[in-house]
Structure 1
Amino acid sequence: MEVQSCVKIINEWDIVAARQLGRNVAKDLGFGTVDQARVTTAISELARNIYLYAGQGTVAIEKVQRNGKAGMKIIAVDEGPGIKDIRKVMEDGYTTSGGLGAGLPGVKRLMDEFDIDSTPGKGTKILATKWLR
Structure 2
Amino acid sequence: MSDQSCVYIKKEWDIVAARQMGRDIATQVGFKTVDQARIATAISELARNIYLYAGAGKICFEAIETVQKKGVTIKATDEGPGISDLAQVMEDGYSTSGGLGAGLPGVKRLMDEFDIISKSGEGTTIESTKWLR
TM range (shorter): over 0.9
Question: 3-state DSSP class of the match of 1:96?
Answer: coil
List 4+ stretches of structure 1 deviating above 6 A: none
Flag structure 2 segments of 5+ consecutive residues without an equivalent: none
CA displacement 1:41-96 (0-9 Å, x = unmatched): 00000000000000000000001123420000000000000001101000000000
CA displacement 1:81-130 (0-9 Å, x = unmatched): 00011010000000000000000000000000000000010000000100
CA displacement 1:19-55 (0-9 Å, x = unmatched): 0000000111110100000000000000000000000
How many residue pairs were aligned? 133
**2:37 is matched with which residue?**
37
Counterparts of 1:1-133 in structure 2, within 5 Å, are 1-133=1-133
TM-score (norm 1): 0.98
Q: Percent identity?
A: 68
TM-score (norm 2): 0.98
Q: Which amino acid aligns with 1:118?
A: S
Note if contact 1:3-1:60 (Cα within 8 Å) is conserved in structure 2: no
Flag structure 1 segments of 5+ consecutive residues without an equivalent: none
C-alpha RMSD over aligned residues: 0.7
Q: 1:29 and 1:19 mapped to 2: Cα distance?
A: 15
